[in-house]
C-alpha cells in the first residue's frame, strides 16, 4: 500500500502531466503571443508560469540538502500566507518579477517548453522515489518546509493556472484527480479558516447574504 508521501508525490506528477497536456495543445500554440486571462501575461508566458510549478522543485531539492526535517514544520497553507504577506510588502516588485520569469520561460516557444516539462517530470519521478518520506526543502522567502507540503502548494499553482490557461484559449479546464483536488481545496480551506474563523467560513458556504468579507476567497 502506498504511503501518504508516495500518494502526494504521485498526485503531483499526475497534476503536472495534465498541465503538460494543456500546454502542448494546439489552441495554446495558436494563441501563444496573444494576451491571456491574467493581466500582463501572454498565453505563452502563462504557460511558462504554469510549467514553473514543476521546474522549481528540482532546484529547491538540489539547493537544500541539509534542511533539518524536525524544524521544517511550515504547512502549505501557512506558506501561502507568508508569500502573500511578502507580495503585499513588496509593493508590486515581486509581481513584476513573476511576470518577467513567466515571459522568459515562454520565450522559447511551445515545443521547447513542452520538451523541458517532459524532461523535468521524468527526472522528478525518479527523484521522488529516492527522497525520504520526511525530506524537507528551503523554498521562496527562505521558508523551510516538508517536501510533500511544498508539493501541495505546487498542486494549487497547477490547478489554478491550468484553469487560467484553458480559459485564455477557450478550452475546458483539465480534470484533476480526486486527491489533487482534495489537497488543493483542503489547503485553501485551511487558509480562510485561519484568516477569518470558522463562523465566517460557514457563512461563506451557507449564508452568503451575511458573508460581507468574502470569507471563501483564499487569494
- Which of 100, 107, 115, 147 minimizes the C-alpha distance to 20? 115
CATH number of 4-174: 1.20.120.450
User: Does residue 92 surpass a pLDDT of 80?
Assistant: no
Q: Among candidates 131, 153, 208, 207, which has minimal Cα distance to 15?
A: 153
| pLDDT at residue 200 in the model | 97
Q: pLDDT tier at 69 (50, 70, 90 boundaries)?
A: confident
pTM of the model: 0.95
Tell me the three cell numbers of residue 7: 500518494
- Tell me the backbone φ, ψ of residue 64, rounded to 5 degrees: -130, 60
Statement: residue 148 has pLDDT above 90: yes
DSSP letter, residue 146: E
Any bridge partners for residue 138, and if so which?
A: 144
Task: Give residue limits of the domains in the chain.
Answer: 4-174
Looking at every residue in the chain, the average pLDDT score rounds to 96
Amino acid at each position: 500500500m502506498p504511503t501518504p508521501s508516495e500518494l502526494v508525490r504521485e498526485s503531483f506528477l499526475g497534476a503536472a502531466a495534465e498541465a503538460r497536456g494543456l500546454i502542448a495543445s494546439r489552441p495554446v500554440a495558436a494563441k501563444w503571443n496573444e494576451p491571456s486571462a491574467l493581466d500582463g501575461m501572454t498565453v505563452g508566458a502563462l504557460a511558462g508560469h504554469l510549467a514553473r510549478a514543476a521546474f522549481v522543485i528540482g532546484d529547491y531539492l538540489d539547493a537544500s540538502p541539509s534542511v533539518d526535517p524536525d524544524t521544517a514544520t511550515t504547512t502549505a497553507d501557512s506558506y501561502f500566507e507568508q508569500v502573500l504577506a511578502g507580495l503585499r510588502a513588496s509593493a508590486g516588485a515581486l509581481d513584476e518579477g513573476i511576470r518577467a520569469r513567466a515571459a522568459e520561460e515562454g520565450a522559447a516557444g511551445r515545443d521547447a517548453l513542452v520538451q523541458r516539462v517532459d524532461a523535468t517530470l521524468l527526472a522528478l519521478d525518479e527523484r521522488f522515489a529516492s527522497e525520504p518520506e520526511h525530506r524537507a526543502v528551503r523554498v521562496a522567502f527562505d521558508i523551510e518546509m516538508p517536501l510533500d507540503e511544498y508539493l501541495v502548494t505546487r498542486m494549487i499553482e497547477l490547478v489554478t493556472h491550468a484553469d487560467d490557461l484553458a480559459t485564455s484559449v477557450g478550452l475546458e479546464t483539465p480534470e484533476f484527480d480526486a486527491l489533487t483536488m482534495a489537497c488543493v481545496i483542503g489547503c485553501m480551506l485551511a487558509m480562510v479558516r485561519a484568516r477569518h474563523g470558522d463562523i465566517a467560513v460557514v457563512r461563506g458556504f451557507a449564508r452568503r447574504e451575511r458573508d460581507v468579507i468574502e470569507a471563501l476567497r483564499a487569494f
